[in-house]
């Protein structure tokens, strides 16, 4: 895949924050490496992979040396690299904890892919390890950094839709390969819910700034389909937010690619469709002023994340989506699985204040 062209003049390399990318799968090779090239505040200083050849090939393509490519066995040698200030973990979910903890012990800041772990306890252990080591931790929730999602949040929170009553989101796609790690409970922690359904959950929480107080869920795990021996094929959930606001979330690994989100207020509504791809997001707002589809500047979601975390590292401020934000989604997902298992409503602590688990607001790309 051709690398995207530079769109911003990079700072002198030594002013930017050096990242080691751990795991060179689809996301790293197709999105993160190109995104880092257009980052103003971050660059890839090292790569870590199970295959030495693969890491070296990508290192060469980035203009790095052979010594910048590491195997998983050599991971702890990053401790000797002062130019590597942050480690970006892009591995199957159950490996996040081990590598995040080892990175934190080396004094490296940690950017970790979603979901943060495989359940709330696992994710909390990552937060604790980073806190103990005094390093920053960011959960890579790219949809909390885009101008489209912020415009949706502003429309809701500025009252453009009147009091919000109903929320709805679907994130579904077909997973074909029965051997994929995403379908193995030990590696993934669950099925579509922690992989794609998490976008619905996380983005509705972000847009409202509120936390659900109870959840009810049902899931379907067909017998006889080798893909769903270990995890659910689909889940439908009802979530109760404060003041009687209710949300429905649906997710599936056996339904055609769909990413939508809607918020219905008393005086207006908004829809994002598609709501969660890497680009081409579309927002439509209907209010007393009519219906409009705002225009947004071009940007790369992963570059925005790199830049935000690099700025936080330089200023010592907590990122907008710290580890706590990742743990909160796991607390809710654990409750959704418990509800699906027991057939009961599961109550949650909720939160007394808005944006309870978030840190420093990100800068949005300018028009």
Q: Rounded CA gap, 166 and 183, in Å?
A: 31
Given candidates 35, 91, 129, 239, which one binds ligand NAD under the rule CB under 6 A?
Answer: 91
Q: Rounded CA gap, 172 and 95, in Å?
A: 24
What's 110's DSSP letter? E
CB of 162 to ligand NAD, least distance (A): 32
What ranges make up the beta strands (E) of 214-362?
214-220, 234-240, 246-252, 254-265, 269-272, 283-287, 290-292, 346-347
**Cβ neighbours, 10 Å, residue 88:** 29
CB of 220 to ligand NAD, least distance (A): 22
Verify binding: residue 50, ligand NAD, rule CB under 6 A: yes
Nearer residue to ligand NAD within complex by CB, 171 or 241: 171
Catalytic site positions = 114
Given candidates 41, 46, 84, 92, which one binds ligand NAD under the rule CB under 6 A?
Answer: 92
Nearest-CA neighbor of 310 among 1, 6, 10? 10
CB of 248 to ligand NAD, least distance (A): 23
Given candidates 48, 110, 116, 140, which one binds ligand NAD under the rule CB under 6 A?
Answer: 140
Burial class (CB in 10 A: 0-12, 13-18, 19+), 353: exposed
User: DSSP secondary structure string, 22-80?
Assistant: E--SHHIIIIIHHHHHT-SSEEEEEEEES-HHHHHHHHHHTT--GGGEEEGGGGGGGGG
Site string for ligand NAD, 104-133 (x = CB under 6 A): ---------xx-------------------
Task: Answer yes or no: are the C-beta atoms of 156 and 208 closer than 8 Å.
Answer: yes
Position of minimal CB gap to ligand NAD: 25
Verify binding: residue 277, ligand NAD, rule CB under 6 A: no
Nearest-CA neighbor of 325 among 141, 90, 151, 188? 141
Nearest-CA neighbor of 102 among 82, 122, 72? 72
Nearer residue to ligand NAD within complex by CB, 180 or 264: 180
CA 29 to mean position of chain CA atoms:
17
Nearer residue to ligand NAD within complex by CB, 181 or 214: 181
CB of 94 to ligand NAD, least distance (A): 8
Given candidates 41, 142, 171, 358, which one binds ligand NAD under the rule CB under 6 A?
Answer: 142
Q: Is 147 helix (H, G, I), strand (E, B) or coil?
A: helix
Verify binding: residue 175, ligand NAD, rule CB under 6 A: no
Verify binding: residue 97, ligand NAD, rule CB under 6 A: no
With contacts defined by CB under 6 A, name the span among 37-45, 84-92, 202-210, 350-358 that binds ligand NAD: 84-92
With contacts defined by CB under 6 A, name the span among 7-15, 33-41, 86-94, 120-128 that binds ligand NAD: 86-94
Nearer residue to ligand NAD within complex by CB, 193 or 245: 193
Helical spans, DSSP H, in the chain: 26-27, 33-37, 52-61, 96-105, 120-133, 147-157, 185-188, 192, 198-208, 301-315, 323-342
Nearer residue to ligand NAD within complex by CB, 212 or 326: 326
Q: Is 2 helix (H, G, I), strand (E, B) or coil?
A: coil
Q: How many residues bind ligand NAD (CB under 6 A)?
A: 19
Verify binding: residue 23, ligand NAD, rule CB under 6 A: yes
Verify binding: residue 353, ligand NAD, rule CB under 6 A: no
Binding region for ligand NAD (CB under 6 A)? 23-28, 50, 90-93, 95, 113-114, 140, 142, 181, 187, 195
């Amino acid at each position: 895949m051709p690398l995207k062209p530079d769109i911003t003049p990079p700072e002198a390399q030594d002013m930017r924050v050096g990242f080691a990318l751990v795991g060179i799968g689809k996301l790293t090779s197709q999105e993160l490496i190109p995104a880092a090239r257009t980052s103003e505040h971050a660059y890839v200083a090292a790569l870590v992979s199970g295959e030495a050849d693969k890491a070296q090939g990508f290192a060469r393509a980035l203009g790095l040396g052979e010594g910048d490519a590491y195997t998983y066995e050599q991971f702890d040698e990053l401790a000797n690299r002062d130019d590597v200030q942050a480690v970006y973990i892009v591995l199957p979910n159950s490996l996040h904890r081990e590598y995040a903890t080892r990175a934190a012990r080396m004094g490296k800041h940690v950017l970790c892919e979603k979901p943060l772990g495989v359940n709330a306890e696992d994710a909390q252990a990552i937060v604790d390890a980073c806190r103990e080591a005094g390093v920053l931790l960011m959960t890579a929730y790219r949809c909390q950094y885009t101008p489209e999602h912020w415009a949706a949040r502003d429309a809701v929170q500025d009252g453009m839709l009147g009091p919000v009553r109903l929320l709805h989101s679907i994130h579904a796609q077909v997973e074909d390969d029965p051997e994929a790690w995403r379908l193995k409970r030990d590696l993934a922690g669950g099925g579509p819910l922690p992989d794609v359904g998490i976008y619905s959950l996380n983005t509705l929480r972000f847009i409202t700034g509120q936390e659900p107080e109870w959840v009810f869920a049902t899931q379907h795990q067909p017998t006889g389909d080798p893909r769903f021996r270990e995890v659910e094929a689909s889940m439908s959930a009802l979530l109760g937010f404060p003041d009687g606001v209710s949300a429905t979330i649906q997710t599936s690994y056996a339904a055609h690619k769909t990413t939508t989100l809607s918020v219905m207020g008393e005086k207006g509504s908004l829809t994002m469709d598609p709501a969660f791809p890497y680009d081409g997001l579309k927002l439509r707002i209907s209010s007393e002023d009519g219906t409009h589809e705002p225009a947004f500047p071009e940007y790369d979601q992963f570059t925005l994340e790199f830049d935000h975390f690099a700025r936080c590292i330089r200023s010592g401020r907590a990122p907008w989506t710290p580890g706590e934000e990742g743990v909160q989604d796991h607390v809710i997902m654990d409750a959704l699985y418990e509800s699906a298992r027991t057939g009961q409503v599961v109550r949650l602590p909720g939160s007394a204040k808005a944006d309870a688990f978030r840190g420093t607001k990100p800068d949005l790309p300018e028009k």
